Structure 1
Amino acid sequence: MSSRVQISMSNFLRLTLFLPYFAFITCIVLTIFKDIEKSTRTHCKVSNFLPSISAITAGFEPQRFIWRVSFGLNSIIRYLIGYLQLQRLLNRHHIASREFYILIQKINSSIHFLELTFLLVLTYVSSNEIKLIHQCGFIGFMICSLLHMLCTILIDYYWPRTKTTCFNDREKFIRAKRLKWFIYNIISFFISLYFFFRHNFFCEPYIYSMYCFFEYFVILTNISYHSVIREEWDQEEGQIQFFY
């Protein structure tokens, strides 16, 4: 005999937003009030006022525990949602060049799953433990994240449809919102890189904190980009069923 638990898709997607926001806000607040001096210390030995995400998650308790548990649980949910989203996209019947479209969507989903995997590596291997693996996780995460967002937007805007089907207002709103968060994300990323290299080359006070500030925006805009799927699924409200 088996039992069945039903969870609405809307509530399921809310959970994917709550976990990273909870970890992000809680860990930053705890670090600023509890470990600010140690977390802002760099090789330049200049004054700073914000900790980096790597510093927050590397060696302070309970921040490291909160971050790893929250993002670990969130990644499991996002793998499932990524799979469900792929099935939803492959079931579209108004797409032209359907065989090629299916191939591209599977490749794009694979990139998304790689993004989630690199995020797990980045989360569970800190810079204090194995720095090279942590750096590779960060580079892999950023490449796959930006590539997945870009591919999704290009498909949304430019993939041909059958002549009888046009974009409705809801679809236009959703794709415009994805584009907005992608632009914010990539701008924040390049600004953070600018401050990171400026800090390493010139060792100026507070420049590393500016890098941290825009690093926060990279994370928040990434979460916001992926949150758009909730509005996309709102018009197709359904339930997820679990059996045990």
Structure 2
Amino acid sequence: MFSMFSRPTEHIFDHTFQMSAALASGDAAHRDSILTLRLRRFVFAVVSLPLCAFISCVIISLCKDFEEVNRTHCKVYNFLPSISSSIGNNSPQTYIWRLGVAFHLTPRLILAFSYYGWYRKLDHNRWRYDSAYRRLCKCSLVFHIAEIACLAGLTFLSSSENFSIHEKSFIGFAICSWLYMVTTCMLFRMQKTKWLSTTRLKCWILSVFCMAVLGISYTYWRHNAYCEPYVYSMFALFEYITVLCNMAFHTTAAWDFKDYAVLVSSTKGLPGVEELL
């Protein structure tokens, strides 16, 4: 069985995963576990995969394919490549990025369902009696999964292979990422029992993300309208900021789940297994 548990001082989730997962108290689950991984370390590992791939692709592109990745239809000088140019057109950058994202996607789904169960646990009474709260939790989950799907689309179909789908996937990724951040910040601010430690950090990251998206929109328009030097590089810089904000936002899960672990253990004697499987 694949499961998540907290330290003995925490209550267990109420059926967190709707896949082949079950929740158990720390003592019972840990006793029969064959693999235990602190969720904080799990989050850092999951986020580091696309982060390292992204940084590697940009550095390799600047060192190996500088002129090609900075070339645009305007034929003016630029010094920073866009993300699409960095990851989609040259080898080995394409393979580095695709491998990093491929290993990143499935663990992200685990985190998405973990948050869904966590919201139920944080305010169980509100979950039972407040339909608006339940809908917001479900919307957050849907936006999170849609963001992951769009990330897969823009990763495995480069702009040179299918520009239309790549462009729509990038737009969908930006919109779903923003919607997920907004709904998450709303859910965190709704918790009346305590002010969660990462709430302000999430809201700050969301603010920077929104400003970067505005910067992307302006520089993209200005580049196509006036073909000025360096403008497309500023567009690329704002792209980098949005991606780093997205990664930083998801990294805050390391503090939200600091007392939890992912484990593989026996299902014998664990409550609720039959209902979930």
TM-score, L = length of structure 2 = 0.80
Between the aligned partners of 1:160 and 1:122, the Cα distance in structure 2 is 35
Between the aligned partners of 2:265 and 2:240, the Cα distance in structure 1 is 38
Pair 1:122 & 2:122 matched = no
SS in 1 for 2:73: coil
Aligned residues: 233
Q: Which 4+ runs in 1 deviate beyond 3 A?
A: 93-100
Whether the aligned pair in 1 keeps the contact of 2:79 and 2:230 (CA below 8 Å) is yes
Structure 1 unmatched runs, 5+: none
Pair 1:78 & 2:108 matched = yes
Structure 1 residue aligned with 2:226: 202
Alignment of structure 1 residues 68-107 onto 2, 5 Å: 68-93=98-123, 96=126, 97-107=129-139
SS in 1 for 2:198: helix
Whether the aligned pair in 1 keeps the contact of 2:78 and 2:233 (CA below 8 Å) is yes
The aligned amino acid for 1:242 is V
Moved more, 196-205 or 80-89: 80-89
Structure 1 residue aligned with 2:14: none
1:243 deviation in Å?
Answer: 6.4
Higher relative contact order (CA 8 A, sep 6+): 2
Pair 1:225 & 2:225 matched = no
Determine what percentage of the aligned residue pairs are the same residue: 30
1:94 deviation in Å?
Answer: 5.6
Identify, as 1 or 2, the structure richer in helix: 1
Pair 1:24 & 2:54 matched = yes
SS in 1 for 2:91: coil
Structure 2 unmatched runs, 5+: 1-31, 267-277
Between Structure 1 and Structure 2, whose CA radius of gyration is higher?
A: 2
Between the aligned partners of 1:131 and 1:243, the Cα distance in structure 2 is 45
Distance change >3 Å, CA 220–CA 95, structure 1 → 2: farther
Structure 1 residue aligned with 2:260: 238
Give per-residue Cα distances to partners, 1:15-72, cap 9 Å, x unaligned: 1221121011111110000001000000001111111000011211111001011011
Whether the aligned pair in 1 keeps the contact of 2:33 and 2:263 (CA below 8 Å) is no
Distance change >3 Å, CA 95–CA 52, structure 1 → 2: farther
Structure 2 residue aligned with 1:188: 212
The aligned amino acid for 2:146 is L
Between the aligned partners of 2:33 and 2:132, the Cα distance in structure 1 is 40
Alignment of structure 1 residues 123-138 onto 2, 5 Å: 123-138=155-170
1:239 deviation in Å?
Answer: 2.0
Between the aligned partners of 1:84 and 1:39, the Cα distance in structure 2 is 39
Whether the aligned pair in 2 keeps the contact of 1:118 and 1:140 (CA below 8 Å) is yes
